Structure 1
Amino acid sequence: MPSAPRSAAGKLQAERLKAEKAAEAGRSAKAAIAAPTKFAPTESAPTKSASAEAKPEKAGPAKAEPTTAESERTPPDTAAESRRTPLSRLRGLPLPGSEGRALAKAARERRRFERGEVRRFTKRARRRRTIALVTAGSLVLLALVVAAAAYSPLMAVKTIEITGTQRVSAQDIQDSLADQVGVPLTLVDRAAVGRVLGSYPLVRSYSVQTRPPSTLIVSVVERTPVGVIADGAEFDLVDPAGVVIETAPAAQEGYPLLSTPTGSASGAAFRATARVLLTLPESLESQVASAAATTGDDVSLTLADGAVVFWGGSDDSALKAVVLEKLMAATDPAAVASYDVSSPEAAVVARR
């Protein structure tokens, strides 16, 4: 029957095609294993190859045997490769060829960069911590040194200097402050110094300074006397604030005798007179013998030669002093009875 050989030939052809496909699959698997990317094949590839190899064995034709032989020619290191942890489990599906190598290289570079960043950050943090510790330690050490030096006997008071005194005895002030000798400069009792200086009426203000290693400096500002006020049988030397600086049985020389309605160093008349005397230049101040006022606007000065200066109020005192100096320079003082500078722009000179 002619149909039987034809069907047998068709079956043989079909088996041959299947064998070729199986061989091609085996070669693909072998090429994937031998690729330099070192990506392990997935578990599905060997399964497919095994199924392809199994089909020719069922058919049994002689020409299917090369497929089995080729599939059995797998390199001996395939088992070792399969035991390695496949990269696909960590990074996804394997990528063949140059693309896989590029991704692997990028991953290595990324890990290298991350390690470098961690090291750099750690080094920077360590450096900052070291700087902070060194700075804190230096400050603590400096504080300890300063504290030790400040409370050391080497920095105790040994000398007391008094400056700015004229009427007050500097030696008396030093003797009054003797209890501060031996005290560390940083522990000087400034309140005690203030109490001592406050007991001196002539002291208007003061300042206390320390000069290492062992000197205490007290700078005194004395009260400035402006005149003398008669108080019964005695005379009080007073300053512009009305504070009595000194009391004597006779008027102190070099200071004008002050006359006020109250007879004391108080009131508007006294304050106006004191302001006028403070603005006088030294050349005029030395010529004033007395000053009087009944209000704050009628201050008058009597010069040593007997001439009277009508000053008026204490306003524009600097200008009035300049005008008076010019009038005295332009006239014969012996022929002048009075100078009226209460209106400095229209000063008047009255002759004897």
Structure 2
Amino acid sequence: MSLSDATTRLDLRRRQERQHRWLRIGGIAVAALALAAVAYLVWFSPVFAAREITVTGNKLLSKTDVVAAAQVVPGTPMARLDVDAIADRVAGLPAVARVTVSRDWPDRLTLAITERTAHLSIPAGAGYLIADESGVVFQAVPDQPSGLVRVVADPSNQGVLADVGAVFSALSDQQRAQVNRLEAPSRDGIVLRMRDGAKVIWGSADESSLKSQVLARLLPLGGDIFDVSAPAFPARR
């Protein structure tokens, strides 16, 4: 092989390597431009913007109330919506027990609501406050609802209502069905009035789970007054 041929082949190889290098650079540039275009479409353009909000599971709340609480600006790109923050805002509505926020591409946001279930009614002024099993008040109504356990307590005392909720939550379904009224003149003086006329002295909300278990053993023994305020030393008569 002559020196001229070797030089020619070396030049050819170098040109091919430069061509391959430029092709790689071009491919990378095209890929980068494609990614930039996708990022723009998803994060900034109106193509994937929120145009519709669907609300499910709401009965007490109107869609207008839920959407207002969500504070979603129409036209905001879906990818830029903070679904956790939206869920926190909607969960701040008293009637909302749980909420799930999901993106339904390309342009719909779905808010799945689970509302609180009414268990307790508290007389307040000319009407009644409605609370769930935990004592969380979420509605006000003018008339006494049927099927709810009536709570005799200061409706403005949040601590007492929370304690009443803790007591009620600790009861079994069978025990709840037997309760006619809950009286809470103070946080340490909670009393259950049963449908058969029996009285259960509960005391404070402390150790409510244990008190519920003790009460389950006492009730079948019969009696008019059951005292589980000190669950280690229960009494009945």
Coordinate RMSD, CA, aligned:
4.2
1:250, 1:136 → 2: CA distance?
71
In the superposition, relative to structure 1, how do residues 300 and 176 fare at CA in structure 2: closer, same or farther (>3 Å)?
Answer: closer
Deviation of the 1:169 alpha carbon: 3.7
Equivalent residue pairs, number: 219
Q: Secondary structure at the match of 2:211?
A: helix
How far apart, CA to CA, are the structure 2 residues paired with 1:316 and 1:130?
74
SS state at 1:271 partner: helix
- State the partner residue of 1:157: 50
The letter of the residue matching 2:229 is S
Partner of 1:337: 224
1:169-204 deviation line (CA, Å, top 9, x unaligned): 4576469989866654235597x9689958954236
Kindly state the Cα deviation for residue 274 of structure 1 after the two structures are TM-superposed. Answer: 2.3
Partner of 2:125: 232
Following superposition, the deviation at residue 258 of structure 1 comes to: 1.6
1:88-127 matches, cutoff 5 A: none
Instruction: State TM-score, norm by structure 2.
Output: 0.68
Instruction: State the Cα deviation string for residues 275-316 of structure 1 (Å, max 9, x = none).
Output: 211222333223322111233222111122221111122111
Residues 228, 236 of structure 1: 8 Å contact kept: yes
| Amino acid aligned to 1:269 | V
Matches within 5 A, 1:1-352: 138-139=31-32, 141-170=34-63, 173=66, 183-186=76-79, 197=90, 200-203=93-96, 206=99, 208-223=101-116, 225=118, 227-238=120-131, 244-260=137-153, 263-266=154-157, 268-328=159-219, 330-331=220-221, 336-350=223-237
Residue deviations 1:128-153 (CA, integer Å, cap 9, x gap): x9989966764553232132244455
Alignment deviations for residues 190-244 of structure 1 (CA, whole Å, 9 cap, x no partner)? 7x96899589542366453312222202233544555222123322224588764
What's the CA shift string for 1:74-112, capped at 9, x where partnerless?
Answer: xxxxxxxxxxxxxxxxxxxxxxxxxxxxxxxxxxxxxxx
Alpha-carbon distance between aligned partners in 1 of 2:176 and 2:125, rounded to the nearest angstrom: 26
Q: 1:298 to 1:161 in 2, by over 3 A?
A: same
Distance 1:178 1:273, change over 3 A: closer
Conservation of the 8 A alpha-carbon contact between 2:135 and 2:166: no
- Structure 2 distance, partners of 1:197, 1:269, is 26
**Secondary structure of residue in 1 paired with 2:224:** strand
* Identity level (%): 27
| Closer, same or farther: CA 132–316 of 1 in aligned 2, 3 Å | farther
Partner of 2:232: helix, strand, or coil?
helix
Whether the aligned pair in 1 keeps the contact of 2:150 and 2:182 (CA below 8 Å) is yes
SS at match of 1:346: coil
Partners in 2 of 1:344 and 1:188 — Cα distance? 51
> Structure 1: which amino acid aligns with 2:224?
A
How far apart are the structure 2 equivalents of 1:277 and 1:163? 29
Contact 1:259 1:292 in 2 (8 A): yes
Q: In the aligned structure 1, how far is the partner of 2:207 from the partner of 2:183?
A: 18
Q: Where does structure 2 lack aligned partners over 5 or more consecutive residues?
A: 1-16
Higher share in helix: 1
Provide the secondary structure at the position in 2 that maps to 1:343. Answer: coil
Supply the distance in 1 between the matched residues of 2:149 and 2:167 (Cα, whole angstroms): 12
Cα distance change on mapping 1:140 and 1:339 into 2, 3 Å: farther
Question: Greater relative contact order (Cα 8 A, min sep 6): structure 1 or 2?
Answer: 2
Structure with more of its chain in strand, by fraction: 2
Q: CA deviation at 1:248?
A: 2.2
- 1-structure distance, mates of 2:29, 2:224: 81
Query: Which structure would you say has the larger Rg?
Result: 1
CA distance in 2, matches of 1:175, 1:247: 21
